[in-house]
Amino acid sequence: MNAAITKSVDWKCDNTEVVNIGGVSFVYLHGNKIAEVGDTFIRLYDGGYQSNTTKSRLNAILQEHGLGGEGVFQKQFNWFLRSKFGTEFISIPFFSGMRLA
């Protein structure tokens, strides 16, 4: 998945697919969009399912294409994003469609 995003190529394996359109990689899990990755941004979606598999795919994308230390985690059944803000990391509530620059 991450190699396809890096190379800006289409790819599919089992339940995960990457479709590249105009330099933006759209990532799908079970046919539901979970991410858009461009040269200067990442947009995250839950695809309608805040599952462990969705979270795992998003964290793999963030590890490879985001800033070091970013990630999606769950606390008391709610999702959060750990993201760098200036020189510190903060945790903010996850919402589908959130954009990281």
pLDDT of residue 69: 87
Task: Give percent of the chain above pLDDT 90.
Answer: 88
The mean predicted confidence, pLDDT, of the chain is 95
Lookup: tokens for 5: 């995003």
Q: pLDDT tier at 77 (50, 70, 90 boundaries)? A: very high
| Sheet bearing 32-37, strands edge to edge | 11-13, 16-21, 24-29, 32-37, 42-44, 98-100
Average pLDDT for 76-101: 91
| Tens of pLDDT, residues 12-56 | 999 999 999 999 999 999 999 999 999 999 999 999 999 999 999
Q: pLDDT tier at 86 (50, 70, 90 boundaries)? A: confident
pTM for the full predicted model? 0.94
